[in-house]
A and B are shown apart, each in its own frame.
Chain A
Amino acid sequence: MPGVEGFIYPNELELQWSVLIVLYPFITGLVAGAFILASLERVFNVEAVKPTYRLALLTALAFLLVAPLPLQLHLGHPERSLEMYLTPHTQSAMAMFGFVYLWYLMVVLVLEIWLDYRKDIVLKWRASTGVTKLVYGAMALWSDNISESALKLDDRIGRALTVIGIPSAFLLHGYVGFIFGSIKANPWWSTPLMPIVFLFSAIVSGIACILLLYFVTCWYRKVPVDMPCVDTIAKYLYYAFLVDFSLEMLDLIHRLYESDESFRALDFMVKTRLFTSQIVLQILLGTVVPLAILGVVQLVRFRHEVRRVLYVLAGSLTLMGIFAMRWNVVIGGQLFSKSFLGYTSYKMAFATKEGLLPAIVLMILPFVILWVLIRLLPPWGHEAGSARSHARG
């Protein structure tokens, strides 16, 4: 049979979960990671990263809005997907995740963004006309109270939300890890480490994404990069990456040492079918190199320009590495037979419902949404914003 090596159970020829299901943990990971970075400033008062606070929240929202789309495209019957909310099977991680997602979207992200931006929304409401005025009015819920006491109240609630939001973000992406980690039938997935590995790789990818976005937005606005800000972000990226790398190495060492019934089949798979994506892209280029770059930057004081280049390089490689990690988990987990005697292959089409083309479109879409959000709710210069509205009178 084409693409098959050794013996597979007859029903295992075709992969069940495609590149779209690789996208899904990648996207939710970016959400969780961006939010954790934002919470660094809000809850832990790391002032240096303040310039990225609002950008991180908007990025998280943009990606979270896109997150269900790859799932909908993948389902055989997307029109029945509401069943997950109507009759959720409480024993199923996938069903309960629907509620975690909803909680995170509505309570954590939307509320927090709304409370943080409320003053700007009201000011824009007062200053705009026509359709724009309607939009901002609706967003303000037609309440234009931005007195000192009201804003202080907002700030207190927002802070509480962020505090709730951190474990919620952990739950959001840890759950995705549990969806895989709880499948005893699949030894590549089944490990209690899976939720934690997913979570830390999510934090790493989210921080890297915001770092890169910050550079892009500064370049676009022709504004100088705040070096202490990116230095701090890079430092947190480094620490998170160290933990993530340690966890993945722990998993690997544990597998090598215990060498259970699945080990030989998995080892062979990694050395052959998964070599490029796992060894080269995920481990070497996607983890070791960025870690080395970030580590060296901690030790050697490079000039601004050099540091910026190194950060962009490290951030980009990191994102590629985390994407490769999702690929290796999802696709890798389906390449070997549950008989441990054979392998199949993944034939990714291009312009089909679950092919490469929709995957590319779905990865571009969050940036389009982010662009709209940035236009609607500019994440920088709120002082400039209120000055403009004062000038208008």
Chain B
Amino acid sequence: MNQDRRSFLGQTGKLLILTASAAVAWEHILAGRPEDAPNYTATDHWWGMAIDIEKCIGCGTCVRACKAENDVPHEDYMFRTWVERYVVDPADLDHPQVDSRNGGYDGFHEREVLDTRLKMFFVPKLCNHCAHSPCVQVCPVGATFESPDGVVLVDKTYCLGCRYCVQACPYGCRFIDPRTETVDKCSLCYHRITKGLTTACCETCPTGARTLADLKDPKDPIHAFLRDHKVQVLKPQMATGSKMYYNGLDGSVR
């Protein structure tokens, strides 16, 4: 074989091998790449939400929007997000009257008793996307996890439906979807926030009671929110690292 042919074969061979390995490497990278959307780097974000109780009017638009956006079953015992109404007697903070008919999907009916002494407000609730999530801790197989950008997600093709995570969640935000026999819960509209949109509930909230927050973005209004308000998370004694920050959360809220 003369020198030219040999070098040609050598070069082609190298090219083929490099392309093949690049292809294999690319497959591997693709298999692990979370960025399905252009220009989205997960580690640039740390998602949470700011919820302002003083602005919530209990209209239930967020509940309806979530069910529409995320194809949640319409039964009244399966919600990714819901709104609770609290009626608190200031003399008896330990026994609030709470109701959440159909999760607040239809708004709230007028209460008969117009006792001006009572304190009343609405509390929207959803998955708290805990930084130290007890539900992630107990999953036996790794079907629920916290993404690199702080969103607790469910892998529906991997979930066994053992329901251990439902038991472990202190906030009652998980349920079993009977159509897939796996667990389901608020995903913080991951398919939206990774494309630069906001969550369905925040998008449609008419009063701005719910606002998506990116804690890693120095320009995000969450920083002013946390600084200028007396902020609470639900069940702080559980030390779950909840990232749903409530302004105006009364002590009677469960």
Contact = CB atoms under 8 A, between A and B. Distances in A.
| Any A–B CB pair closer than 8 Å | yes
Contacts of A14: 77
A10 to B, nearest CB: 5
B167 A185 contact: yes
A77 B159 contact: yes
Interface in A242-293: none
Contacts of B196: none
Interface of A: 1, 7-14, 16-17, 71, 74-78, 80-81, 83-84, 87-89, 91-95, 98, 179, 182-186, 333-334, 337-341
A383 B163 CA distance: 51
A10 B98 CA distance: 12
Interface of B: 76-79, 82, 84, 96-100, 102-103, 125, 134, 137-143, 158-164, 166-176, 180-182, 238, 254
A170 B168 CA distance: 24
B141 A11 contact: no
A73 to B, nearest CB: 12
B170 A95 contact: no
A11 B174 contact: yes
Contacts of B97: 7
Nearest to B161: A76
Nearest to B177: A76
Given A185-B169, A338-B170, A92 B161 contact: no
Contacts of A95: 140-141
B234 to A, nearest CB: 11
Contacts of A8: 172
B254 A339 contact: yes
A184 B235 CA distance: 11
A7, A12, A88, A334: residue with the most chain B Cβ atoms closer than 10 Å:
A7
A9 B139 contact: no
A349 to B, nearest CB: 15
Given A88-B140, A89-B140, A91-B137, A16 B172 contact: no
B161 A7 contact: no
Given A11-B78, A81-B160, A185-B167, A92 B100 contact: no
Nearest to A96: B140
Given A1-B76, A92-B139, 14 more contacts: A10-B100, A13-B76, A17-B163, A76-B163, A76-B180, A80-B141, A80-B160, A88-B140, A91-B138, A92-B164, A94-B140, A183-B138, A334-B167, A338-B172
5 contacts: A7-B100, A10-B82, A16-B163, A77-B160, A95-B140
Contacts of B137: 91-92
B167 A83 contact: no
A142 B240 CA distance: 57
Nearest to A88: B140
B172 A11 contact: yes
Contact of B181 (A7, A77, A337): A77
A84 B141 contact: yes
Given A11-B172, A92-B137, A339-B254, A76 B167 contact: no
B218 to A, nearest CB: 33
Given A11-B172, A84-B160, A94-B162, A341 B98 contact: yes
B142 to A, nearest CB: 5
* Among all A-B residue pairs, the 8 with the closest Cβ atoms: A76-B161, A9-B172, A76-B181, A95-B140, A185-B170, A13-B77, A339-B254, A16-B163
A110 B169 CA distance: 38
A109 B99 CA distance: 53
A94 B182 CA distance: 17
B103 to A, nearest CB: 5
Given A80-B158, A185-B170, A89 B176 contact: no
B241 to A, nearest CB: 13
Contact of B140 (A17, A78, A92, A337): A92
B8 to A, nearest CB: 47
A17 B176 CA distance: 12
A262 to B, nearest CB: 11
Given A77-B159, A80-B158, A94 B138 contact: yes
A94 B142 CA distance: 12
B167 A183 contact: yes
A98 B140 CA distance: 10
Given A92-B140, A186-B167, A76 B174 contact: no
B171 A9 contact: yes
Nearest to B78: A11
Contacts of B138: 91-94, 182-183
Contacts of A16: 163, 166-167, 176
A80 to B, nearest CB: 5
B182 A77 contact: yes
A185 B254 CA distance: 13
Contacts of A338: 170-172, 254
Contact of B162 (A10, A13, A75, A182): A75
Contacts of B125: 9
